[in-house]
């Protein structure tokens, strides 16, 4: 048993930050306070937090945990993760807003369970969990990549730590659970909009994570979230029993997002003098932003069209240049062939008069010495612009395919009519 315990301690000391968070979140979700059992379930499910939690909960008989270490507090009684409906009742006029919320809180079971606080603060020392949440840090790095002048002040703290800060400052806590399927443009244009950023900076504490992160999976399961991204407003009067005020799930418009932030602003911040937003000016600003966006899209379309036309022009220019170069090369080749053929001889007893019927019906004539090879006749016909052909002569007609034979021995002396037949049409 001692060797197994030492082996477990060595294994725990080699955990990565993400695995440590998964271990803590597993204990928070399942209320399993035995670290050995928690690690075994996580290892069995390849450190998939949700799969490990479901595996543990689905067991008909939960393994008996070994006695907890002295510094780990006993778990709090399990509470229902689904908040009950708050009865429709208005606070009496002589009660403050905060008193009304406390009065309603007795009807509302917190969706963020108190055992999260117990596990993190009593079961996991700060030295192990660190001062920053890797899940929050990963989300903040996405926000910073937009290079906005004033990004929303999302905290890097762990969830229990930001809950404590919300209780101490009496500010509402804005939680944002991001999804990997959401385009960055939505985060940049809606979540990081400058008016929304002003609301959050003035009136809220903000904490955001990605859904597939360790903390994101924990919050998703505790709040039974199904639609992402999800905005959540939480009030904290007791860190063991935070109160979920409102959720805003799925893709929303900028106006819906701003209204959500506006109606849940801190009453403390409401006492602070904040420059009011003129509805007319705000509407004009929205219209101007839409016009600017349409202008940018139109400019991008024009640039794309110009680029496409430029590509076509370059291709056409390249094609014309290739054709011109080809003609130059063909003309040079024709000149070389004519040089090899030589000058046309004068009429005489050793001269053969050749009449040539071209494929297009035109006729050409040329005199050659009777000893000239048939191959020279082929070259001469090539200078007339004919390619891929054969010479047919005589009756019955035959193909002159022996290019080394002379015109005389081929029956083309003293006169002859030859037909040019293109082989590409055969």
Domain edges within the chain: 1-66, 98-274, 278-340, 351-425
| CATH class (in words) of the domain with range 351-425 | alpha beta
The span from the CA of 32 to the CA of 284, in Å, is 56
* C-alpha span between 355 and 130 (Å, rounded): 100
**At the fourth CATH level, which superfamily is domain 98-274?**
Glutaredoxin (3.40.30.10)
Predicted confidence at residue 336, as pLDDT, reads: 92
Nearest to 259 by CA among 272, 236, 277, 243: 277
What is the arithmetic mean of pLDDT over 342-359? 94
Cα–Cα nearest to 143, from 193, 94, 91: 193
Q: How confident is the model at residue 20 (pLDDT cuts 50, 70, 90)?
A: confident
**Confidence class for position 238, pLDDT limits 50, 70, 90:** confident
The closest alpha carbon to 28, from 70, 85, 78, 64, belongs to 78
**Closest alpha carbon to 76 in 286, 284, 235, 239:** 239
Q: Which pLDDT band, with edges at 50, 70 and 90, does 96 fall under?
A: very low
Q: Is the pLDDT of residue 111 over 70?
A: no
Contacts of 46 (CB under 8 A, 6+ apart): none
* Position 254 confidence tier, pLDDT thresholds 50, 70, 90: very high
Please, what is the average pLDDT of the chain? 79
How many Å apart are CA 34 and CA 119, to the nearest integer? 11
Say if residue 154's pLDDT is above 90: yes
Give the whole-angstrom CA distance, residue 405 versus residue 319: 41
pLDDT at 216 over 80: yes
- 1-66: what CATH class? mainly alpha
Query: Is the per-residue pLDDT at 281 higher than 80?
Result: no
Q: Binning pLDDT at 50, 70 and 90, where does residue 266 land?
A: low
- The pLDDT confidence band at residue 367, using thresholds 50, 70 and 90, is very high
Mean pLDDT of the region 244-263: 93
Per-residue confidence band for 59, with pLDDT thresholds at 50, 70 and 90: low
Contact 169, 223 (CB under 8 A): no
Q: Please check the confidence at residue 117 and state whether its pLDDT lies above 90.
A: no
List the one residue out of 222, 219, 247 whose CA is nearest residue 234.
247
DSSP assignment letter at 426: -
């Amino acid at each position: 048993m001692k060797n197994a315990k030492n082996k477990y301690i060595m294994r725990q000391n080699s955990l990565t930050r993400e695995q440590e968070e998964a271990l803590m979140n597993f204990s928070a979700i399942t209320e399993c306070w035995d670290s050995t059992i928690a690690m075994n379930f996580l290892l069995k499910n390849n450190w998939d937090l949700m799969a490990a939690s479901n595996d543990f909960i689905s067991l008909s008989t939960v393994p008996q945990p070994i006695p907890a270490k002295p510094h780990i507090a006993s778990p709090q009684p399990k509470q229902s993760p689904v908040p009950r409906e708050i009865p429709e009742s208005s606070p009496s006029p002589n009660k403050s807003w905060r008193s009304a919320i406390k009065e309603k809180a007795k009807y509302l079971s917190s969706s963020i369970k108190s055992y999260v606080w117990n596990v993190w603060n009593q079961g996991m020392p700060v030295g192990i969990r660190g001062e920053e949440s890797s899940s929050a840090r990963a989300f903040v790095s996405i926000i910073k990549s937009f290079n906005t002048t004033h990004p929303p002040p999302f905290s890097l703290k762990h969830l229990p730590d930001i809950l404590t800060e919300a209780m101490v400052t009496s500010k509402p806590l804005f939680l944002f659970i991001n999804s990997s399927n959401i385009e960055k443009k939505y985060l940049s244009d809606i979540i990081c909009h400058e008016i929304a950023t002003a609301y959050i900076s003035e009136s809220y504490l903000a904490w955001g994570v990605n859904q597939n992160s360790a903390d994101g999976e924990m919050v998703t399961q505790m709040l039974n979230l199904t639609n992402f991204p999800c905005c959540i407003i939480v009030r904290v009067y007791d860190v063991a029993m935070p109160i979920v005020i409102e959720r805003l799930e799925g893709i929303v418009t900028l106006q819906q997002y701003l209204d959500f932030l506006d109606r849940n602003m801190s009453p403390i911040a409401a006492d602070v003098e904040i420059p009011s937003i003129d509805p007319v000016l705000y509407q004009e600003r929205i219209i101007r932003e839409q016009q600017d966006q349409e202008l940018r899209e139109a400019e991008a379309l024009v640039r794309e069209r110009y680029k496409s036309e430029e590509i076509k022009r370059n291709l056409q220019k390249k094609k014309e240049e290739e054709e011109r170069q080809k003609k130059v090369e063909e003309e040079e080749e024709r000149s070389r062939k004519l040089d090899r053929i030589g000058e046309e001889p004068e009429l005489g007893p050793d001269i053969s008069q050749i009449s040539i019927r071209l494929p297009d019906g035109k006729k050409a004539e040329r005199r050659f010495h009777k000893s000239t090879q048939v191959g020279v006749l082929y070259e001469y016909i090539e200078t007339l612009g004919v390619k891929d052909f054969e010479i047919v002569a005589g009756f019955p007609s035959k193909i002159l395919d022996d290019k080394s034979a002379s015109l005389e021995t081929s029956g083309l002396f003293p006169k002859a009519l030859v037909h040019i037949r293109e082989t590409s049409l055969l």
